Amino acid sequence: MSSNFHPDGTLFIVSGPSGAGKTTLINRVRKQVEPLGISLYFSVSHTTREPRAGEEHGKHYYYVSPAEFEEMATRGEFLECAYVHRHRYGTSRQEVIERLNRGIDVILDIDYQGARQIAEDPELNSRSLNVFIFPPTLEALEQRLRDRGLNTDDEIETRLRKAIDEIDAGKEFYKYIIINDDLDEATECLKAAIIAKKLQTKTALEAIASMAQRFKEEHRNGRIARRR
């Protein structure tokens, strides 16, 4: 087990416009921090949109009807929920809170609206880190959206307009902003942000204080060989 990192229920929130590369970055970083002793549970969101080719229920999203989604929202089952590109998206409160309370670190890929909602919760905000992924240019973002082949011209134009709004609103809200121009560099940046947060958590600070106290006791008890 790592001496520096301990699972302690830290919440990591990654946001950014559609096409910025959030999912790819999250997947890469989760694999790279695992050997360091940082295990990040990826929380799967609920959505009212239809699954795309290759997507699986429970792996990419939980696909529910608009009526089911509305019932869940009315019952307060979402930690956050938002209306994005004509569809509803939401994060299960139970799935996230229960894991955080068991000391499991969780990472979310959610919209700016959802990140804002979580930031308004004092308890969650104090144990979370939010990161915004920037595209290098609007042209690059448009090309990424076109290369995916998932959207019509009108849908791409809508996503580009929304991206401008998100960037303008998010530039002063997030703790870290990462420009995803070079994938390897952006991965290292996101990994560094996660590591930095983990080194500042209450659990990490308590571990250091305990170690410092043990050093003092060992020294007092003569366990440390003194140089002559």
Q: Return d(Cα 63, Cα 72) in angstroms, integer.
A: 13
How does pLDDT run across 46-87, given as a tens digit for each residue?
A: 999 999 889 999 999 999 999 999 999 999 999 999 998 789
Could you read off the pLDDT of 166-188 as tens digits, one per residue? 878 776 779 999 999 999 999 99
pLDDT at 43: 96
Mean pLDDT calculated for residue range 29-44: 96
Cα separation, 102 vs 172, in Å, equals: 32
Domains of the chain: 11-220 (3.40.50.300)
Check residue 158 and give its pLDDT.
87
Predicted local distance difference test score (pLDDT) of residue 193 = 97
DSSP conformation letters of 34-90: GGGT--EEEPPPEESSPPPTT--BTTTBEE--HHHHHHHHHTT-EEEEEEETTEEEE
**Cα distance between residue 93 and residue 112, in whole Å:** 17
